[in-house]
Structure 1
Amino acid sequence: MTVDEVMAELVAMNDPKMRAVNEKHGDDHGVNLTALRALAKRLKTQHELAQQLWSTDDTAAKLLALLICRPKSFDRDQLDTMLRQSRTPKVHDWLVNYVVKKNPHAEELRTAWFTDPDPVVASAGWALTTDRVAKKPENLDLEALLDLIEKHMKTAPDRLQWAMNHCLAYIGISHPDYRPRALDIGERLQVLKDYPTPPGCTSPFAPTWITEMVRRQS
């Protein structure tokens, strides 16, 4: 399929009601993500097409591009540019989780983004750090991470605050020695304590999240 043909399919998939819901969360598209994944499965991996779709700057096209690209084929500078072009939360999230984490430059980008002055870029660095906290914590200074969270999370912009809160929770969940301090920080800062949580779901409030996940593990 050509770019024009794919874009025509995406236009046909657009649902104005779904777009209105997504826009409340900062995502400017109306495509059902299950249908988008089905289209990606049909297209399979097509890295060149993915790059062409990304360049359209259309959110649905970017999401599709992230599903059909070849993550290891991007160089460091390409990924850095793509992150800064990720205007919407869903594109940002998928880029980090589906592409950057699978790329050989992930650790280099993690350390660069972690201290970036742009809080949205920094949130990607924190997301990659959380992945390491959970899966590969060797050589991470967890105490220093908790120091930063304690000092900055309360006043951080929303997306950065969300990423820092995830890191706090995973330190508490994955590392028993640091769990008491993680719980204490969460209780004192009260970040996301009142976040609306659907019935049956776990609250993102770190003390609740940590306690529930530890209970499930035991």
Structure 2
Amino acid sequence: MTETAQADEIRERLAALEDPRIRAVNEKHGDAHGVNLTRLRAVAKEAGRDPAVAAELWRSGEAAARLVAVLMLRPRDRDADGYDAMLREAGSPKVQDWLVSYLVKKSPSAEELRLRWIADPDPVVASAGWALTTERVAKRPDGLDLDALLDEIEREMRDAPERLQWAMNSCLGEIGIRDAARRERVLDIGERLGVLEDYPTPPGCVSPYVPIWVPEIVRRNGG
């Protein structure tokens, strides 16, 4: 069976799993598909790793097919330019998130793309750069200029578009959680900017509002 035929078969399976109720919910968040993600993952698992079939699925432009394509790739299957093109084509927030979380963060190109994306004029691309920066703050902060990051967050976050604002807020919170010496400044920035202060938070979950989020996670971590 050719790669195109395999991709068409996967797309047919995804179409059969479409649920209008799921699509209605997803479309409110910009994700144009109606497939339960557990079932989608099962389709990807059965298909296995296959960069050629993944490329065919990606070319379809369909959000569900692109999610499966991400799951069929390994982090080393694309270089920096390949991931850059995919991010700019992704369209769906969920596809963008999976691409960054499952592939780019684990790829040899992660740092190159972090530096390329964080200053990009496209706020969606920049949000991916900030997501990679948050990952570095959490796992490899050595070499990062945390004060410069805080300066930029303080200057730009309040008026940033939603996805970029969320990504910058995540980085701000991660710095506050990981770096006790900068925690007071982080909390001050969070309080003055008020970003996500009124975000609806389900019972039992921690608010993403930094002055609430950071102290609670530090407390849970025994800090």
Q: TM-score higher than 0.5 here? A: yes
Q: How far apart, in 2, do the equivalents of 1:71 and 1:141 lie?
A: 27
Q: How far apart, in 2, do the equivalents of 1:187 and 1:197 lie?
A: 18
Amino acid at match of 2:100: V
Q: Please point out which of 3, 11, 16 is paired with 2:15.
A: 11
Amino acid at match of 2:203: P
Q: CA RMSD in A?
A: 0.9
Runs of 4+, deviation exceeding 2 Å: none
Query: For 1:181-196, what aligned pairs fall within 5 Å after superposition?
Result: 181-196=185-200
Q: Please point out which of 177, 184, 204 is paired with 2:181.
A: 177
Deviation at residue 185 of structure 1 after TM alignment: 0.4
Amino acid at match of 1:164: M
Identity %: 60
Q: Please point out which of 57, 61, 64 is paired with 2:61.
A: 57
Q: 2:166 maps to which residue?
A: 162
Q: 1:135 maps to which residue?
A: 139
1:154-191 residue CA offsets vs partner (Å, 9 max, x unmatched)? 00000000000000000001111111100110011000
Amino acid at match of 2:40: L
Amino acid at match of 1:103: S
Amino acid at match of 1:120: V
Contact 2:10 2:43 in 1 (8 A): no
Q: How far apart, in 1, do the equivalents of 2:199 and 2:28 lie?
A: 15
Q: 1:199 maps to which residue?
A: 203
1:120-150 residue CA offsets vs partner (Å, 9 max, x unmatched)? 1000000000000000001000000000000
Contact 1:186 1:206 in 2 (8 A): yes
Query: For 1:1-218, what aligned pairs fall within 5 Å after superposition?
Result: 2-218=6-222
Q: How far apart, in 1, do the equivalents of 2:49 and 2:34 lie?
A: 23
1:70-101 residue CA offsets vs partner (Å, 9 max, x unmatched)? 22020111111001011111011001010111
**Residue correspondences, number:** 218
Deviation at residue 62 of structure 1 after TM alignment: 0.4
SS of residue matched to 1:29: coil
Q: How far apart, in 2, do the equivalents of 1:135 and 1:104 lie?
A: 15
Q: How far apart, in 2, do the equivalents of 1:3 and 1:41 lie?
A: 14
Q: Which runs of 5+ in 2 are unaligned?
A: none
